[in-house]
Amino acid sequence: MQTMMQTEALPRENFLPFALPLIGEEEIAEVVDTLRSGWVTTGPKVKRFESEFSSYTGASNSLAVSSCTAGLHTALTALGVGPGDEVILPTLTFCATANVVVHLGARPVLVDVGLDFQIDPAAIEAAITPRTRAIMPVHYAGQACDLDAIYAIAAQHGLTVVEDAAHAVGTTYRGTKIGADRLSAQYPELRRATAFSFYANKNMTTGEGGMITTADEELAHEMRVLSLHGMSKDAWKRYTNAGSWFYEVVSAGYKNNMTDIAAALGIHQLRRLNGFIQVRRHFARLYDEAFAGSEVVQTPIKHDDRNHVYHLYAIRLNLEQLTIDRAAFIDQLSEMKIGSSVHFIPVHLHPFYGEHFGYQRGDLPCAEAIYDSILSLPLYPSMSRRDVDDVINAVQQIASTHRR
């Protein structure tokens, strides 16, 4: 491990939160403009945000929704996933990825991840049965999973793909942004959509919010209708010169639309996103350099064919070298006034998934070993260099104090 930085003594004076959004004056002015405009729900700003998001990602269609969870649910519903179907997803994800499958009466089939924390294509292949309908890969932490391998499997078995890109706005895989049309051109028969999150701790935020992208015009239309009560027309047009009072309900839809207030934030967050990512990557490099060669801290595995936008910077602790466990490590960080978190408790270890689907510890060993030793450090653009150094120093100090 490299020598410690010159920082003030730890603990810090103020608590360093694990994550914070960075909202600028442009966002605030745009929200105020929306509030003054008299149009606060889905309207012109949502349209603008969708169009700019399509340009950014390289997607033909973008649909703004109230959350990534709503986006995943809307996409799976429009793709016809339902009772009797199985949907394959990694266990190392947020519960939302699995919960939406359950909401549709389908069975979430949880599979293991590799040492890079990403869903293991071989585990997907091994989990396929005649009931498998879809794959939901998750781009963990803001690095893409192995999409070429996953899409080859999906195409071979006639499956649909809904990518959980909650962490991955701005992420690229082999030169293409996540959510772009490219894979649809490569696999024209395969139906697919990608859902992003703009939750408060994400690389860009609308408070709560999400976006679905797809190259599939028909799917885009179905999702748009489903996301707003199943009404055949955009509700917002009903109250403008462009619309009329008449609409028809063509499906029992949901209330998953985004408001113009949220979109006002999103428009400017999107413009600043590349700058945010640059800072995240810079701080991640500082962490990488500080922990290089450490026998206690293992830095995240990166792939050369994918950029990493570092929604999360998740280290692994070599517990064999420590006299304390991960939970105690977190407590020590907290005592030094540094926030941290764990991503994620594997879905199969949550009581609901054990009780209803029979999962237990031992089923997915790689994810379990990762879970026991993983720790997400603070990483966000409003951190100062001094904050980053404090985190490095605290980790190094705890590691050396509790070295076996």
Ligand X SMILES: Cc1ncc(COP(=O)(O)O)c(C=O)c1O
Which H or E element spans position 285?
Answer: helix 260-291
Q: Pick from 69, 132, 269, 373 the residue near ligand X by CB under 6 A.
A: 69
Contacts (CB under 6 A) with ligand X, residues 128-157: 138
C-alpha atoms less than 13 angstroms from C-alpha of 347 in its C-beta half-sphere: 25
Q: Which stretch binds ligand X (CB under 6 A): 36-44, 64-72, 81-89, 291-299?
A: 64-72
Q: Which stretch binds ligand X (CB under 6 A): 30-38, 65-73, 183-191, 253-261?
A: 65-73
Q: What is the CA radius of gyration of the chain?
A: 22
Closest approach of Cβ 175 to ligand X, in Å? 23
Q: Pick from 97, 172, 206, 373 the residue near ligand X by CB under 6 A.
A: 97
* Pairing, β 86-90 against β 107-111: parallel
Active site residue 202: yes
Among candidate residues 62, 120, 57, the one with its CA nearest the CA of residue 258: 62
Q: Is 68 in the site for ligand X (CB under 6 A)?
A: yes
CB 253 within 8 A of CB 69: no
Instruction: Provide the β-strand partners of residue 192.
Output: 161
Q: Is 213 in the site for ligand X (CB under 6 A)?
A: no
DSSP string covering 97-114: HHHHHHHTT-EEEEE-B-
DSSP string covering 208-246: S-EEEEES-HHHHHHHHHHTBTTBSS-GGGGGSTT--S-
Instruction: Provide the β-strand partners of residue 298.
Output: 316
E strands, 168-209, where?
172-173, 176-177, 192-197
Q: Pick from 42, 197, 213, 393 the residue near ligand X by CB under 6 A.
A: 197
Q: Is 178 in the site for ligand X (CB under 6 A)?
A: no
Q: Which of 202, 237, 255, 302 is catalytic?
A: 202
Q: Pick from 164, 216, 222, 390 the residue near ligand X by CB under 6 A.
A: 164
Q: Is 290 in the site for ligand X (CB under 6 A)?
A: no
Q: Which stretch binds ligand X (CB under 6 A): 141-149, 159-167, 319-327, 360-368?
A: 159-167
Closest approach of Cβ 309 to ligand X, in Å? 13
Q: Is 262 in the site for ligand X (CB under 6 A)?
A: no
Q: For residues 67 and 393, which CB has a smaller minimum distance to ligand X in the complex?
A: 67
Closest approach of Cβ 67 to ligand X, in Å? 3
Q: Is 93 in the site for ligand X (CB under 6 A)?
A: yes
Q: Pick from 39, 56, 94, 353 the residue near ligand X by CB under 6 A.
A: 94
Give every CB contact of residue 191 below 8 A, 6+ residues apart in sequence: 79, 160, 161, 216, 219
Q: Is 199 in the site for ligand X (CB under 6 A)?
A: yes
Distance CA 35, CA 13 (A): 38
| 3-class SS of residue 173 | strand
Residues that bind ligand X (CB under 6 A): 67-69, 93-94, 96-97, 138, 164, 166-167, 197, 199, 210
Which residues belong to the active site?
Answer: 202
